[in-house]
Structure 1
Amino acid sequence: MATQQWTGGSNPSPIDFPPAPHGVVSPPSLEKLSCSSPSVGQVRDPDPISYVSLQEQRCVLSWFQGWTAAQRERFLQDLLGKAVPGKVCTLLDSLNTLQVKDRLPNIFECQLRLWTQWFESWGEEERNHFLHILEERDPAFVSHFYRSVAGTAGRD
């Protein structure tokens, strides 16, 4: 295979570079990258999800996959408190989970702290994206979440 070398005399063009070997898939162009699934009847493109937020969301979803049922329930209560802040029922539930401890936090507690920091830094579109991806991974969990949100209606 003959190779061409660029001597620096002018700007190289795409034909100055050898083609990719057969079977190698080139990366998608930036214009074709999308972090969200297209939805039917959508009028405008959603705001793009930042790379950092996407990595944070993937991290939380990875943790979620490994959590026990009790840890997922605790996460659900935390998510519910974030979705409907200020509702008395969620504030009381959150207060019930607070404990003064003489020991270091466990891994799950550290994960929840990071989750809270990340969630607070996400915009509305990024939060909705997280919920959408979580729903793809565990539809029953998200369905339970929506029922819980609906259950807070009318409570002050």
Structure 2
Amino acid sequence: MSWFFHVNQGSNQQPPVMMPPSSSSSPSLADFPSVPQGLVPPSLENLSCTSLKSAAGREPLPLSYVTLQEQRCVLSWFLSWSTAQRERFLQDLLGKAVPGKVCTLLESLNTLQVKDSPPNIFECQLRLWTQWFESWNEEERNSFLHILEERDPIFVAHFYRGVAGTAGRD
């Protein structure tokens, strides 16, 4: 639904009636309906192209355009990664999901390497992934995991087993 529907629903007034355009070729202010008194439009943060359910708070708010594009980008990379790269990504994801667990820290240390050569594309992708992930809120992170699960449920099952395996371990 459009923003206009939300505005009209929020007030108990009838929607404004459109007047036929005047005979001049360009519209004038008189051609537009008047704004109901006391009506304040929502901020830009609250505008979306989603159903009324999300606006009413029954569903999570939609992702921002930037976050959605970042997530699509990471998913695209993920789908092109080799098995070894996906395993490295899994370890990185586990480290982000349960930060501070010694078992994930030790596994992350095993992936560190000192090189004289510049980073490869995969390493650059992981750096961008980390920057983006850190800027996402919890809901956006969960949304990414849901999108990833739709594409590769086996990978996400491994992730959940890995998270469960850290329970009770320091």
Task: Map residues 89-128 of structure 1 onto 2, 5 A cutoff.
Answer: 89-128=103-142
Structure 2 counterpart of 1:80: 94
Kindly indicate whether structure 1 or structure 2 has the higher relative contact order, using CA contacts under 8 Å at least 6 residues apart.
1
Q: What are the superposed Cα offsets for residues 21-65 of structure 1, whole Å, 9 maximum, x if unpaired?
A: xxxxxxxx824499x9xxxxxx72202211100000000000000
Task: Map residues 1-156 of structure 1 onto 2, 5 A cutoff.
Answer: 7-10=25-28, 30-32=49-51, 44-156=58-170
Q: Which amino acid aligns with 1:7?
A: S
Task: Give TM-score, length-normalised by structure 2.
Answer: 0.70
Give the superposition deviation at 1:83. 0.2
Runs of 4+ in 1 over 3 A off after TM superposition: 31-34
Bigger radius of gyration:
2
- Mapped to 1, the partners of 2:73 and 2:94 lie a distance apart of 20
How has the CA–CA distance of structure 1 residues 75 and 8 changed in structure 2, closer, same or farther, with 3 Å as cutoff? Answer: same
The size of the alignment, in residue pairs, is 130
Identity %: 78
Give the superposition deviation at 1:141. 0.3
- Mapped to 2, the partners of 1:6 and 1:137 lie a distance apart of 56
Structure 1 counterpart of 2:42: none
Which structure 2 residue ranges, 5 or more long, are not aligned?
Answer: 1-22, 33-47
Which structure 1 residue ranges, 5 or more long, are not aligned?
Answer: 14-28, 37-42
- Mapped to 2, the partners of 1:97 and 1:67 lie a distance apart of 16
